[in-house]
Amino acid sequence: MNAKPVSIVMVEDDEGHARLIERNIRRAGVNNEIFAFKDGTSALAYLLGADGTGAENGARSLLILLDLNLPDMTGVDILAKVKSNAHLKRSPVIVLTTTDDQREIKRCYDLGANVYITKPVNYESFANAIQQLGLFLSVMQVPATE
């Protein structure tokens, strides 16, 4: 079984956070392709593909970095759609958000989030968290879809 390169789908509306996330992923030595989206509508359109079924991306290895606070919908809505989609449900989802509400964290894990990282407002600790995430991505294997 050949491991396909993992494409990273980043859903983050804050330009500064998006740049910081990408810079730290690169700094950790992860050179995977990153597709960035600033809102849920465009991210879902990409993930679900032209026909809306997700089949287009079913054969690809995707890792989704998801902010919960988006301008047009919540990241929880996106998470629920991804994890209930037959073609996308095995794609790991890492929630990266400023929300540290315990109910929200539990809800994300219940819906199938793989990792939940709270973005500290302190940029140095945020950078450290993202750098650790980059190291995690560099060794991670995404299960192949049948």
Tens digits of residue pLDDT in 4-37 = 678 899 999 999 989 988 888 888 777 889 999 9
Taken in order 8, 111, 13, 27, is the CA torsion positive or negative? negative
For the cut 80, the answer to whether the pLDDT of residue 130 exceeds it is no
Burial group, residue 107, by CB count within 10 angstroms (0-12, 13-18, 19+): middle
Considering only 19-23, 56-60, 134-138, which range has the smallest mean pLDDT? Answer: 134-138
% residues pLDDT > 70 (the chain): 85
Q: Which of 29, 12, 6, 43 is nearest to 21 (CA)?
A: 12
Average pLDDT over residues 89-104: 90
CA distance 106 to 145: 26
CA distance 47 to 44: 5
% residues pLDDT > 90 (the chain): 52
Summarize the chain as % helix, strand, coil (round to 5). Answer: 40, 20, 40
Torsional class of 49: left (φ above 0), alpha (ψ -120 to 50), beta (otherwise): left
* CA-based end-to-end distance of the chain: 11
Confidence (pLDDT) at 1: 44
CA distance 43 to 82: 11
142 DSSP 8-state letter = P
Q: What pTM, to 2 d.p., does this model score?
A: 0.85
Confidence (pLDDT) at 64: 94
For the cut 80, the answer to whether the pLDDT of residue 80 exceeds it is yes
Average pLDDT over residues 82-106: 92
Confidence of residue 141 (pLDDT cuts 50, 70, 90): low
